[in-house]
Structure 1
């Protein structure tokens, strides 16, 4: 029996992973990752890095971040505490969903994760205070390969649910997209 339901999204290759907790009077167990079960969702590489973030204030935006090839990475994002609005943007050149975005509410209560393929930018907005996230990455972070897009880029027109309460100077200064952006070639 699989510990996950794999749900397609409107974006090509982007998946929602719904964990199926097993519980009794003591509490529950919910599997975060299983290579065998998630291979059908597109995860075909080993986990190279695991990160945890804590964001204190509701309305905070982080992202939109990505790694350029050859260090492009898949991510599996889970919210362990609080609730976020998690956003993925398809930056893959020649993708049928190029420059489209999709968002999912992830929370400690809905047991959902977002499996983000290589060639996507990722960001989120906290919908509650004290949001804790767990990131599984298929490639280690390489500062020289980092890329970013401004979260309020008018070309993407992401419909963020809250006004931006806080955003880092770095994220607010990412470049805006223009008609010359051809995408990421994987």
Structure 2
């Protein structure tokens, strides 16, 4: 369950800008969907993410980004909010006081981004590569480019997971 939570949490880290301008300059705000993900760790049984809710991205005035999403854990809805702190290098952010780093790279496909996350989670080092876009439908060109970019960074493209898109739950729901 910890790996599933990390997968979902790092998805949030993912929705970032790829250049040294504000997110608004690129239209990188609003709702995004995780269309594919890979990790350097194996998922076992229930830990393998099968579905994901949309990510809500809000750029902040200081260049940081707030990312929100919901998870339905044991029948209870929980909203997760993460603050991605902008670093001096364009497209690079930190989360949780530097425990994790997130790099975002734009693909050639309109409004599709590849997010590379790495860092410590519960004492273990882990890396993720995620493809995100503004629509839940699959885009074959974006997926192909994502696989190539991830492979260049040492990810095994055969471990790609394509999560089913679900609607966000509301924390009042049980």
Q: Give the TM-score taking structure 1 as reference length.
A: 0.27
Structure of greater Rg: 1
Q: Give the TM-score taking structure 2 as reference length.
A: 0.28
Higher helix share: 2
